[in-house]
Amino acid sequence: MTDEQEKGAAEQIRVGVLGARGRMGVEVCKAVDAATDMELVAMVDQGDWLFNASDAGAEVMVDFTTPDVVMDNLHWCIDQGISAVVGTTGFTEQRLERVRGWLDRKPGVGVVIAPNFGIGAVLMMQFAARAARHFESVEIIEQHHPRKLDAPSGTAAHTARLIAAARAEAGLGPAPDATKDEVAGARGADIDGVRVHAVRATGLVAHQEVLFGTTGETLTIRHDSYDRVSFMPGVLLAVRAVRNRPGLTLGLDALLD
């Protein structure tokens, strides 16, 4: 059976992509197109008519756009009864609350929002959360390509919050630090008490190190995405799962268990 015949034989998920001409969007379109259980029915980018996607019968929309536009896109998808898989960054607790409110009015719709769809990155975050209670010091260093619009990365912010929660649960106080901040920013951003440093350089894709320290030892947990194909297995996993998970699913963790 050819790929095309195989695609026709099985029931396919009708998928639309928002941000289809972007770095991630292009990869997602290729991955969906190559998946035998999916049909790419809409490619929407800046300036395109969103209703192209509903007219085309999209059942799941994948969003890799920008933090400025993702909320409007997501609101539209939920209103239309279309489930969504979202990789775009910028999701604060307030934003998540708004999404939950929209979903309450559309009980059948599912939304998966994940700061990172790389399986290795998800494991890196889980390992970091597990290690957090055993070390008095921790710093996060994220490294990305220079065309990235936001800093720190969504992954770094999420990791910092996981670590902060684990430290609080273990009763750990602030990490020791006698530095006087003589140059603003030299010690990075403070996210819930965890220092986060953002590096931008040509040649990088998406990388993160979590550095833990305690008396006489350090532990470094590092993940590298060298190519955006690394995110695709996670994106496809979420596309397959989202319609069976009404409401909001945060992170890929729940889908990997």
Ligand X SMILES: O=C(O)C1=N[C@H](C(=O)O)C[C@H](O)C1
Residues noted as catalytic? 144, 148
Which residue has the CB atom at the shortest distance from ligand NDP? 22
Rounded Cα distance, 31 and 142, in Å = 26
Q: Segment 184-223, which members bind ligand NDP (CB under 6 A)?
A: none
Contact residue for ligand X among 73, 83, 143, 153 (CB under 6 A): 153
User: What Rg, from alpha-carbon coordinates, does the chain have?
Assistant: 20
Binding of ligand NDP by 65 (CB under 6 A): yes
What SS3 class is residue 176? coil
Q: How far is CA 211 from the centre of its chain?
A: 21
Which of ligand NDP, ligand X, none is residue 144 near (CB under 5 to 8 Å by kind)?
Answer: ligand X
Q: Which contacts of 26-34 are long-range, i.e. CB under 8 A and separated by 24 or more positions? A: 27/228, 27/229, 27/231, 27/232, 28/62, 28/64, 28/232, 28/235, 31/229, 31/232, 31/235, 31/236, 32/62, 32/236, 32/239
When asked if residue 65 is in the footprint of ligand X (CB under 6 A), the reply is no
Query: Mask of contacts with ligand X, 177-196, x by CB under 6 A?
Result: --------------------
Contacts of 129 (CB under 8 A, 6+ apart): 159, 162, 163, 165, 166
| Residue 48: burial class (beta carbons within 10 Å; 0-12, 13-18, 19+) | middle
Q: Does 115 bind ligand X (CB under 6 A)?
A: yes
**Residue 241 Cα to chain centre, angstroms:** 16
Nearer to ligand X, 59 or 142 (CB): 142
Using CB under 6 A, list all residues that contact ligand X.
89, 115-116, 144, 148, 153-155, 206
Q: Under the rule (CB under 6 A), what is the footprint of ligand NDP?
A: 18-19, 21-25, 44-46, 64-67, 69, 73, 87-89, 114-117, 154, 231
Annotated binding-site members: 19-24, 45, 87-89, 114-117, 145, 154-155
Binding residues for NAD(+): 19-24, 45, 87-89, 114-117
Binding residues for (S)-2,3,4,5-tetrahydrodipicolinate: 145, 154-155
